[in-house]
Structure 1
Amino acid sequence: MSAQESSWDDLRLVLSILRGGGLSGASRLMNINHTTVLRRLNIVEERLGVHLFERTPTGYTPTAAGEEMADVAARVEESVTTLERRIAGRDVGLTGTVRCATVDTLAEYFLAPHIAAFHDAYPGIVVELAVSERVVNLTQRDADVAIRPTDHPPEALVGRRLGHVASAVYGSPSYLDAAGDVADLENHRWLAFDESLAGTSMGRWMRTHHPAANVVMRSNILTVLLAGARAGVGIAVLPCFVAELDEDLRRLTPVIPDLRTSLWILTHRDTRRSARVRAFMDFMASRIRAESAILACEPEPGTLP
C-alpha cells in the first residue's frame, strides 16, 4: 500500500469514528469489525504520537488533533466524490449500472413493469433499486437517480415533476366490521410512522389532525403499515395507487388534500450528463407520466370522469 493510500485510510478512519460516535458506529460505516477499528486507531495514534480521541463513558470525543484530521478528511472526501460524479457524467455508453433510490410502495407496486420495459429497450443497463423512506444523498453518490414523492426537492438536484401521489385512510373489512359504527377516526386503532419519520408529510398530518390518535403500531416502512392494515391491526394512511386495488382494504376518507405530494425524478447536476442516466430518466419519466392518473387517484372511485 502506498503512502497516499495509507494516509487516506487514516483520514477516513478518523472521520468514520467521529461520524459514528465511536468504534461501533465506525465499524458499521466502514463495514469492518469493532476490533479492527480499535487496532487501526491505535496504530494511527502511535505513528502520529498524539491522541485523536478521548475515551469517555459516553463515547469517543475528538481531541483538537482529531477534529483537525476529521476536517481534512471531510474536504478530501468531498473532492473525491465530486471527481467521481464528473467522471461518471462523461460516460457516453449505454451500458453499466444505474442506481435508483425510491420508496418501498413505488418499488413494490408500481415501478417493476416500467423497469422491465426499460430493460427491453436498454439491455446493457442494469437497474439497482435502493429502497428507503429517507431521502438519499445524491451529492454523495448514494444513488444516481431518485424517484420519490416530495414537494421540496433539494436545490442541488435537477429533474422533472412526473405528477402527484394521492393518499387516504384505509382499513380492512374485518377490522371495520369488528369496530362497528365508529364515525370519529380518532376512536380507531391507528398505524403510523415511527419517530424517525416524524418530519414526513404523513407524520405532520397525523400530529395536526389526529394528535390524540390511539396508535397501536409504528414502523419506518410504509409497506409494513400496509400489511398491518390488511391484517386488521388498525387503520392507516396509505397511497391510493396501492390500496385501491387491494380487496383486503376499504377506504374511509376522500383523498387527503394535505397529503397530495408531487412525484419527482431527480439526479445531480454532474451525473445528468451520463448517457445511461439520461436514458433512464427520459424513459421512466415518459412511462410514469402516462400513468399519472393512477398515482393521483383521478378520477376518484365512485365519481364520474
Structure 2
Amino acid sequence: MIEWDNLRFFLTTVRAGNYTAAAKRLRVDRTTVGRRLERLEHQAGIPLFEQGEDGYHPTSAGHQVLTIADKIEALVTELEAVLSANADAEQVELRVAVAAELGSEFLQDLTDFSRLHPHIRLRISTSHEPEDDVVTRKCEVGLCLVDPLPRHLRGIRIATLRQAGYASTTYLDHKGRALAPQEYDWVRCTSSSRVRAMKQWDDIFCRTIRVSAYVDNWSALRGSAEQGLGAAFLWTFVADSEPRLNRVTPLHEELGVGLHLVVRDDVPMDQATRQFMNDMAKRLPVRVGNT
C-alpha cells in the first residue's frame, strides 16, 4: 500500500529540485528523504526518478504519480483547512521574482495578497530575468515580460503591456505642447542597462532625439518624467493614470510585450503557489486595464 507521507516527500523533492533542498523544506535530514523515496519506489514497483544531464527528473511513471499526488495534496490541504478553521495556519514561504522593468508597480497587489493570506510569507525579488530564476529554482513564481514563453515554463498570460512617450505638465508648460517628439528632451535607459523592455523605444529613436539624462531602472525613468527632467517612454497602464503626465507620442502597438505569471512546467504547484497564481490572475488584469 502506498503511503501518503511518502508521496508528500516525492512532491516536495520534485518541487525543491534535489534531496538537500527537500530535506530543508521538510525539516528532516537528507538521508530520510532518500529512504522515503526508496520506500515509495519499492511500493510502486517501478522507478520514479531517472538521472539526466542536469540532475534527477521524474520518469514517465513518476509524472503520472506526480499528477495524482498533486490532486491528493489539494484534497488533504482542503481537509486540513476545514478541520483547523479556527486554528492559526502554519506559515509557508513563497518566492516571487518580478521583472525589473516593472519596478514596484504591482507592490500594492502583492500587499493585498499577503493581507488576505497571512500564512503565506512572500519573498519578493527584483530580477532582470525572472523566467530564468523560475527555471533554475531560485523562486517558485515569476512575473515576467516575455514573448513567447521560454521552454520549461507554463503559466498565465495577464496582458500585453504597451509603451508611449510622456512628459509632465510642468515640463510641457515650459517647453511647449504639441511638438514633434524630436523637439523634446528625453530621458533614456543607459546602453549598459539590462532593462530590456524599456529600451525598445531607444533602439528606434535614439539617433533623432536630444537626451537630458540617462537612467538604469524603471523607477528612475518614471520619476524623471514626473519631475520634469524630460520626456520618457513609459508603460501606458502606469502613465495614463498619473495626472502629472501627458502623452506626447502615439501608442506604438509593435512595442507590446506579454506580461505572464509563470512556474516550471514539470513541477506541480503546492497550495501556496496555487493560491498566489489564482489570486494574481484575477487582480493583475484589473490593474493593467486589459487582458
What is the Cα deviation at residue 139 of structure 1?
A: 1.9
1:1-305 correspondence runs (5 A): 78-79=54-55, 92=73, 95-103=91-99, 106=102, 108-112=104-108, 114-135=109-130, 136-180=132-176, 183-197=179-193, 200-292=196-288, 294=289
Contact conserved, 2:198 with 2:234, CA < 8 A, in 1? no
Q: What do residues 74-111 of structure 1 show as CA deviations (whole Å, max 9, x unaligned)?
A: x999538x79xx9xx98956841111111357562334
Aligned-residue sequence identity (percent) comes to 24
What is the Cα deviation at residue 253 of structure 1?
A: 2.2
Contact conserved, 2:155 with 2:262, CA < 8 A, in 1? yes
Q: How many residues get paired?
A: 216
Q: What do residues 145-171 of structure 1 show as CA deviations (whole Å, max 9, x unaligned)?
A: 111222232112110111122221101
Aligned to 2:38: none
Aligned to 1:38: none
SS in 1 for 2:55: helix
Taking the aligned partners of 1:217 and 1:134, their CA distance within structure 2 comes to: 25
What is the Cα deviation at residue 205 of structure 1?
A: 2.8
Counterpart residue type for residue 269 of structure 2? R
Contact conserved, 1:240 with 1:295, CA < 8 A, in 2? no
SS in 2 for 1:147: strand
- Higher mean C-alpha deviation, range 184-193 or range 103-112: 103-112
- In structure 2, the CA distance between the partners of 1:196 and 1:176, relative to structure 1 (3 Å rule), is same
Taking the aligned partners of 1:192 and 1:272, their CA distance within structure 2 comes to: 41
Counterpart residue type for residue 118 of structure 1? F
Taking the aligned partners of 1:290 and 1:233, their CA distance within structure 2 comes to: 30
Counterpart residue type for residue 275 of structure 2? A
Counterpart residue type for residue 98 of structure 1? L
TM-score by length of 2: 0.63
Unaligned segments of structure 1, at least 5 residues: 1-74, 297-305
Unaligned segments of structure 2, at least 5 residues: 1-50, 78-89
SS in 1 for 2:148: coil
Counterpart residue type for residue 117 of structure 2? Y
Taking the aligned partners of 2:53 and 2:229, their CA distance within structure 1 comes to: 46
What is the Cα deviation at residue 181 of structure 1?
A: 5.0
Q: CA RMSD in A?
A: 3.3
What is the Cα deviation at residue 189 of structure 1?
A: 1.3
